[in-house]
Amino acid sequence: MKIGKWRRELPLHVMILPGLLLILLFSYVPMAGITIAFQKFIPARGLFGNQKWVGWDNFDYVMNLPNFKQVLWNTLYISSLKLILGLIVPIVVAVLLNEVKNQLLKRSVQTAIYLPYFLSWVVLGGILIDILSPSEGIVNALIKSFGLDPIFFLGSNHWFPSTLIVSDIWKNFGYGTIVYLAAITGIDPGLYEAATIDGANRWRKIWHITIPGMRMVIVLLSVLSLGQLLNAGFDQVFNLYSPQVYESGDILDTFVYRIGLLDAQYGVATAVGLFKSIVSLILISGSYFFAYRFAKYRIF
């Protein structure tokens, strides 16, 4: 009987095996590679070769770097504003879009707003660098035509974080809007009819029917996005920043990249990466836990 069960399950083990091996090789081996954070790592000796162990030295070194606190602050500042606006803007647009009765307009708007979502940050970064250029960019041409001074969006520490936040919303709000619209479609139309008979105006219907109807999805997306708190957007920042805005725009991931792969301080970079991974682990696990508690969200 027991052998029969094993035989029945054997193909399932065989199916999962190649994927399992790939995951072990390319996710779990790098996880084991966090040992680099406690070494004076010399690449030529190999990942699991004979390296010199230095205890917590790399962490001490990072904590004493003058710009580490700034980088951490930049990361939290940029990503939390992205999270908050990235939650509000799609909700507002979805509600407004739901009020549109003309189907052609509705579909056209939907088509337009999630085009940027599919383009890479190389493409979008290239577009932004061109249109925001203070000398020849079309945005500054517009600003100058109003008699104002041109703004160096990507080159001044005053403007850079806002430019990151706004352009991130620009790329991603279409995605959120579609998710919320899908949630709105699930609302019983009878509720709106009943409210109309009761004399409720448009705002009351939005406030008492549409928004509550989206509640679960709002809770779910906001909770899940919390896990991304230390991901301030490597792809975006890497393609838009330059040394003159490191002060306001350097984030953990770009910092790791520079000290690790450009300065070849492998141990230090891994220590920063490990710090980030552990905080993220806590945040993501917590967010899944809350998503399960409040939205009954289960992954598998």
Radius of gyration in angstroms for the set of CA atoms belonging to the chain, rounded to a whole number = 25
Q: How far is the CB of 78 from another protein (least distance, A)?
A: 19
Q: How far is it, in rounded angstroms, from Cα 182 to Cα 176? A: 10
Q: How far is it, in rounded angstroms, from Cα 112 to Cα 119? A: 13
The residue (of 20 and 148) whose beta carbon lies closer to another protein is 20
Are 294 and 219 in contact by the 8 Å Cβ rule? The answer is yes
Token pair belonging to 76: 């939290």
User: Is 130 an interacting residue with respect to another protein (CB under 8 A)?
Assistant: yes
Site residues for another protein, 245-264, by CB under 8 A, read: 253, 256-257, 260-261
Taking CB under 8 A as the criterion, the residue among 113, 165, 218, 237 binding another protein is 113
The residue (of 84 and 138) whose beta carbon lies closer to another protein is 138
Taking CB under 8 A as the criterion, the residue among 40, 238, 244, 290 binding another protein is 238
The residue (of 74 and 273) whose beta carbon lies closer to another protein is 273
Q: How far is it, in rounded angstroms, from Cα 116 to Cα 32? A: 37
Site residues for another protein, 261-300, by CB under 8 A, read: 261, 266, 269-270, 273-274, 276-277, 280-281, 284-285, 296-300
Stretch that binds another protein, among 58-66, 79-87, 187-195, 232-240 (CB under 8 A): 232-240
Amino acid present at 161: P
Q: How far is the CB of 190 from another protein (least distance, A)?
A: 21
Taking CB under 8 A as the criterion, the residue among 4, 26, 104, 197 binding another protein is 26
Are 253 and 230 in contact by the 8 Å Cβ rule? The answer is no
User: Is 150 an interacting residue with respect to another protein (CB under 8 A)?
Assistant: no
Site residues for another protein, 187-206, by CB under 8 A, read: 202
Which residue is associated with the tokens 């035509």?
145
The residue (of 3 and 299) whose beta carbon lies closer to another protein is 299
User: Is 27 an interacting residue with respect to another protein (CB under 8 A)?
Assistant: yes
Are 291 and 224 in contact by the 8 Å Cβ rule? The answer is yes
Token pair belonging to 89: 């803007």
Angle at 248 between CA 243 and CA 253, to 5 degrees: 75
Q: How far is it, in rounded angstroms, from Cα 209 to Cα 204? A: 8
